[in-house]
Amino acid sequence: MKSPKKSGAPAVEVPWENPLIPNKRLRELYTAMAELRLLEEHIATIQRRAKPSSRLQVNPGEEACRVSAALSLLTDDVTSDPAPGIATRFLRGGKLAGILQSAELDVDATQPVSTELPFAIDPERRLLLAIGAALALASKKKGQLVLANIYPGELTLPEWKPIFRLASAHSAPILFVALPAFGNSPKPGKLAELSTSASVPGIPVDAVDAVALYRVVQESMVRVRAGGGPVLMECVPFQLAGQDPQSSDPVLAMRASLVHRQIADDAWFHSIDTRFTARLKAVKL
């Protein structure tokens, strides 16, 4: 039998794929992050004429934390947010037209739907609502959970402790996601230390590393859904003087990671931006 002829063409290098996070999922993570950033920038432009008190909250830099958690939610999971905004609703499939029209017309776009808890200015009240909702979900025994986005500086460390103790005492199916904190907040990682001391496992994760955040969310949600009790993921911002902006911006960092892994190229990134920008411009305000 003749041996097959050797081709002179160079071998095509196939990108390595992590079985825990397929390349398709990595592209989905980037797409959601990039679209959220574009939406935030668009809304910031729209709301320049609005009163500061009536503006929807836009916080660039939270994309990796928010997307890694939101993309892991199931249809009947419930969310709680620390301020009226658009990120969670958009990431859960909210209509783009409604979000943009609310920003333009200076009306409340954040009236809760069935999977959103009502916003409360008092953080303690809002968190107690989230724990209560989690216990109500637990009684259904369907593996549902509450995703509670929080800011570490909303409460003092002594005020946080009874919140975590209450959630732990009742094995509430709730995932606390502490968004990147700046200004008047505990030192990075302190909230995770405190929650762990209150029997809620606290996991500090680089706020820029979407892949690491996604993996922690996946593992945490498995525990929470199985009745293992609440978990806290603290998104810790690592910013050093003179640091390359790309390494401290979650969207740029994720883009660089996909390029390095040969999962996407400039043409693909351009297509993501172009398509979503066209969607934004197509909305009649």
pLDDT tens, position by position, 103-135: 765 555 445 567 999 889 999 999 999 999 999
Angle at Cα 90 formed by Cα 84 and Cα 94, nearest 5°? 105
CB hemisphere CA count around 234 (13 angstroms): 24
Give the closest residue to 61 by CA, choosing from 152, 182, 185: 182
1 located within any domain: no
Single-letter amino acid, residue 240: L
Tell me which DSSP letter residue 142 carries: S
pTM: 0.88
Give the closest residue to 137 by CA, choosing from 225, 25, 258: 225
Look at 238 and 284; give whichever has higher pLDDT.
Answer: 284
Q: Print the domain residue range for 185.
A: 23-237+245-280
Per-residue pLDDT tens over the stretch 223-241:
999 999 999 999 998 766 5
Radius of gyration of the chain (CA): 21
Q: Following DSSP, what letter does each residue of 176-204 receive, concatenated? A: EEE----SSSPPTTHHHHHHHHTTS-EEE
Per-residue pLDDT tens over the stretch 30-49:
999 999 999 999 988 888 76
Give the closest residue to 233 by CA, choosing from 251, 260, 215, 259: 215
3 located within any domain: no
Q: Please say if the pLDDT value at position 210 is more than 90.
A: yes
How many domains does the chain divide into?
1
What stretches of 106-154 show up as alpha helix (H) in DSSP? 123-140
7 located within any domain: no
pLDDT band at 11 (very low <50, low <70, confident <90, very high): very low
What is the model's pLDDT at position 10? 45
pLDDT band at 19 (very low <50, low <70, confident <90, very high): confident
What is the model's pLDDT at position 52? 57
Q: Residues near 183 by Cβ (< 8 Å), separated by ≥ 6?
A: 153
18 located within any domain: no
What is the model's pLDDT at position 9? 44
258 located within any domain: yes
* Percent of the chain scoring above 70 in pLDDT: 84
- What is the rounded distance in angstroms from the CA atom of residue 174 to the CA atom of residue 221? 9
13 located within any domain: no
Give the closest residue to 228 by CA, choosing from 236, 220, 217: 220
8 located within any domain: no
105 located within any domain: yes
Across the chain, mean pLDDT equals: 88
How many residues appear in the chain? 285
- 195: domain CATH number is 3.40.50.970
